[in-house]
């Protein structure tokens, strides 16, 4: 149980999560809402946090784990501020999504599933996101970029880096 306190900002974030959980009269029915809140707060759902939630909701840890792994929205690994999802579905693949992916690997210096050391970008692949008419498609968080080719990749990365500079 103590391990959860080793998570970044746990001392400050766990009470917020507790208050959220305690606001429900039937806590056991609110697994999805609680996991969403926990991921919003911590950015991901490591096993120690899942265990903490299981105890708070008085549910078996296996149940929480089952929900986390069922929904692709939930992440067990820490993610960067921007998750770059490259669609590797058939329509995108035949139009060169692998070249787009390779360019992200090359520029960011990370492989699929990894996060840059500055915690800014996480690179993932996804199956068809239902925008095949825009193939090849890249999503950065909720924003969709269509008809993307390898030569567009530096500009996309730069635009997010510039956004960071502006926010700093
Ligand atoms: S295959 Fe990429 S959006 Fe459908």
Chain segment 62-96, per-residue pLDDT in tens = 999 999 999 877 889 888 889 999 999 999 999 99
For residue 2, is pLDDT > 80?
A: no
Chain-centre distance of CA 88, in angstroms? 17
Helix or strand holding residue 87 (H, E): strand 82-87
Probe target for ligand 1 pocket from 87, 126, 136, 147, with the most ligand atoms within 8 Å of CB: 87
* Tokens 């996480």 -> residue: 122
Whether 1 shows a pLDDT value over 60: the answer reads no
Distance 73 CA to ligand 1 centre (A): 18
Distance, in Å, from the CA atom of 43 to the CA atom of 36, rounded to the nearest integer, reads: 10
Domain 82-167: homologous superfamily in CATH: Glutaredoxin (3.40.30.10)
**Atom nearest to 134 CA in ligand 1:** 3
Q: What is the mean pLDDT of residues 2-17?
A: 91
Q: Which of 98, 124, 126, 129 should be mutated for ligand 1, with most atoms under 8 A from CB?
A: 129
Q: Is the CB of 92 under 6 A from ligand 1?
A: yes
Q: What's the average model confidence in pLDDT over 24-50?
A: 94
Q: What is the pLDDT of residue 158?
A: 97
Structure tokens at 148: 């993307």
């Amino acid at each position: 149980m103590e391990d959860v306190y080793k998570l970044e900002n746990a001392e400050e974030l766990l009470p917020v999560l507790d208050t959220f959980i305690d606001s429900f009269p039937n806590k056991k029915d609110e697994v999805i809402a609680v996991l969403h809140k926990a991921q919003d707060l911590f950015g991901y759902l490591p096993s120690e946090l899942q265990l903490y939630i299981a105890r708070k909701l008085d549910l078996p840890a296996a149940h929480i784990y089952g929900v986390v792994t069922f929904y692709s929205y939930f992440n067990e690994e820490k993610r960067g501020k921007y998750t770059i999802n490259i669609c590797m579905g058939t329509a995108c693949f035949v139009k060169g999504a692998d070249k787009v992916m390779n360019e992200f690997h090359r520029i960011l210096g990370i492989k699929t599933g990894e996060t840059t050391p500055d915690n800014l970008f996480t690179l993932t692949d996804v199956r068809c996101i239902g925008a095949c008419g825009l193939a090849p498609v890249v999503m950065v968080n909720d924003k969709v970029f269509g008809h993307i080719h390898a030569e567009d990749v530096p500009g996309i990365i730069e635009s997010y880096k510039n956004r960071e500079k502006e926010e700093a």
